[in-house]
């Protein structure tokens, strides 16, 4: 397991049940990507079929991202004022939303 980010505090860690759900979803995505790769290795793959599968992977990734973001908003952003780290949380959230 990798070292935790030095900017992250234990009390701001991802909720265990959300982390488990995200892991399960991403393992499923990995399997789906493997299937798309196998599909694209075939000479007779139809473009639209490949596009549909790629879109399904994108949808699954979006759902996983939404799950993690919702947890962050619910458990960390709404409590930022109580902890006194509103500016840091807002800056962090703006950085995350840049990539969405």
* 84, part of any domain: yes
**Which residue range is the domain that position 21 belongs to?**
13-98
The span from the CA of 14 to the CA of 74, in Å, is 11
Statement: the pTM of the whole predicted model exceeds 0.85 = no
Is position 72 within any domain?
Answer: yes
> CA-CA distances (angstroms) from residue 23 to 50, 89, 91, 98?
25, 24, 26, 23
How confident is the prediction along the chain (100 residues), in pLDDT tens digits per residue? 444 444 545 567 899 999 999 999 999 999 999 999 999 999 999 999 999 999 999 999 999 999 999 998 888 888 888 888 889 888 888 988 887 7
Q: Domains in the chain: how many in total?
A: 1
Token digits of residue 38: 């196998």
Establish if 4 belongs to a structural domain. no
Instruction: Say if 3 falls within a structural domain.
Output: no
């Amino acid at each position: 397991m990798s070292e935790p980010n030095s900017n992250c505090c234990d009390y701001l860690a991802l909720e265990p049940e959300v982390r488990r759900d995200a892991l399960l979803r991403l393992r499923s995505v990995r399997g789906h990507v493997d299937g798309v790769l196998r599909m694209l290795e075939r000479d007779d793959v139809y473009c639209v079929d490949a596009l549909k599968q790629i879109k399904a992977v994108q949808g699954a990734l979006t759902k996983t991202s939404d799950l993690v973001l919702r947890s962050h908003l619910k458990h960390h952003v709404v409590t930022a004022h109580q902890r006194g780290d509103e500016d840091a949380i807002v800056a962090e959230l703006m950085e995350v939303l840049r990539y969405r």
